[in-house]
Amino acid sequence: MSCFERKVTYFKSAGKVNTDTLLEVVREYVEKEDIEDIVVASTTGETGAKAAKILKGCNVVVVTHHVGFQKPGEAELKEEFKQEILNDGGKIFTGTHALSSIERAIRKDFGTLQPLELIANVFRLMGEGTKVCVEIVLMAADAGLIPVDRDVVAIAGTGRGADTALRIKPANSARFFDLKIREVIAKPFDF
């Protein structure tokens, strides 16, 4: 039997308070594991800017909410953070969420849960960050911003900030079931 042990960081609770520690854990992890591609969820860009700075030299892809997520026609990414991300070599992707898209509108208007939102809710059994990590990797892969032939690290959180990091073998949305969550690097224990 072959097996190995790995360290997992668990935060006592979810939330933004874990962001700086999580980014340091990820920095150490990617250096040790020689991982080049990092995908980061960031609404306003604050977490994305921190990640781009701490993980400078990696392919850091910051995935934002799509335009109109909160208010019609409005982007939530703040210009100051956008510039910081780009200045530190990060990339930014803003697009339709892979695990909701039009299905969210169907649920809101007709009260009917569709398959994508069901899948999203199953991922939430491991925390909101787990769902978002999978979603942003699908989105970044579909945009051609990360490779699908090598593992990446995805960073996301619960609400604001970052509290979850997963090692994922990416896939494009059309090949969703080829995506593999290989390792939990960090996540909230209580969420």
Is 97 a domain residue?
Answer: yes
| Tally of domains within the chain | 1
Give the domain CATH number at 31: 3.40.1380.20
pLDDT score at 18: 98
Say how far apart CA 27 and CA 5 lie, in whole Å.
Answer: 20
Q: Which residues, 6 or more positions from 134, have their beta carbon under 8 angstroms from its beta carbon?
A: 99, 123, 154, 166, 168, 179, 181
pLDDT score at 112: 85
Q: What does the mean pLDDT of the chain come to?
A: 95
**What would the pLDDT profile of 3-35 be if each residue is shown by its tens digit?**
989 999 999 999 999 999 999 999 999 999 999
Q: What percent of the chain has pLDDT over 90?
A: 83
pLDDT score at 173: 95
**What would the pLDDT profile of 102-157 be if each residue is shown by its tens digit?**
888 888 889 888 888 899 999 999 999 999 999 999 999 999 999 999 999 999 99
Is 18 a domain residue?
Answer: yes
150 to 44, 147, 170: CA distances (angstroms): 28, 6, 7
Residue 1 has pLDDT above 80, yes or no: no
Question: Which residue has 């494009």 as its token pair?
Answer: 172
pLDDT score at 89: 98
Is 19 a domain residue?
Answer: yes
Per-residue confidence band for 65, with pLDDT thresholds at 50, 70 and 90: very high
Structure tokens at 5: 């042990």
Is 4 a domain residue?
Answer: no
Is 79 a domain residue?
Answer: yes
pLDDT score at 103: 82
Is 2 a domain residue?
Answer: no
Domain ranges, residue 151: 9-68+75-188
pTM of the prediction? 0.94
Is 107 a domain residue?
Answer: yes
Is 26 a domain residue?
Answer: yes
